[in-house]
């Protein structure tokens, strides 16, 4: 089980360039997420996909698009990169399950991250 994998690990772009960050999970999870992590800001949700075929905006969606290609894969696209998009990007996936007295849990598992620099 590889868990959640992300490519690339590192990327440097010039302002205005486009790129797609790839994410895949092999845990048969229904839900997938894209976050960005910036110093002093914590983890912020960009987009999420509750299930195959659906996507929804998170806290900071501007400048990004997503595609839920199938149950395993969820990609994040920057159409015209800006220096403000310099960040570490994390993909996550989750499955809902019932855990007795703990109720319904939805724990997220994260990938290793992509470090993106936009010059």
Partner 1 sequence: QKEVEQDPGPLSVPEGAIVSLNCTYSNSAFQYFMWYRQYSRKGPELLMYTYSSGNKEDGRFTAQVDKSSKYISLFIRDSQPSDSATYLCAMKRSGGSNYKLTFGKGTLLTVNP
- The answer to whether residues 47 and 25 touch, using CB atoms and an 8 Å cutoff, is no
Could you tell me which stretch among 12-20, 62-70, 75-83, 104-112 binds partner 1 (CB under 8 A)? 104-112
Answer for which of 79, 107, 117, 119 binds partner 1 (CB under 8 A) is 107
Q: 11, 58 in Cβ contact below 8 A?
A: no
Residues in the chain: 119
| Chosen residue from 22, 61, 63, 109 binding partner 1 by CB under 8 A | 109
Positions in the binding site for partner 1 (CB under 8 A)? 4, 31, 33, 40-43, 45, 48, 50, 58, 90, 92, 94, 96, 99, 101-113
């Amino acid at each position: 089980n590889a868990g959640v994998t992300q490519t690339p690990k590192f990327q440097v772009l010039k302002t205005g360039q486009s790129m797609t960050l790839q994410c895949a999970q092999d845990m048969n999870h229904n839900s997938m997420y894209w976050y960005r992590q910036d110093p002093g800001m914590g983890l912020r949700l960009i987009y999420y996909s509750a299930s195959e075929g659906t996507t929804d905006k998170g806290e900071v969606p501007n400048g990004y698009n997503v595609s839920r290609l199938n149950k395993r894969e969820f990609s994040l696209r920057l159409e015209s990169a800006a220096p403000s998009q310099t960040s570490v990007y994390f993909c996550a996936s989750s499955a809902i399950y019932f855990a007795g007295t703990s109720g319904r849990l939805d724990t997220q598992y994260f990938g290793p991250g992509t470090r993106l620099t936009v010059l």
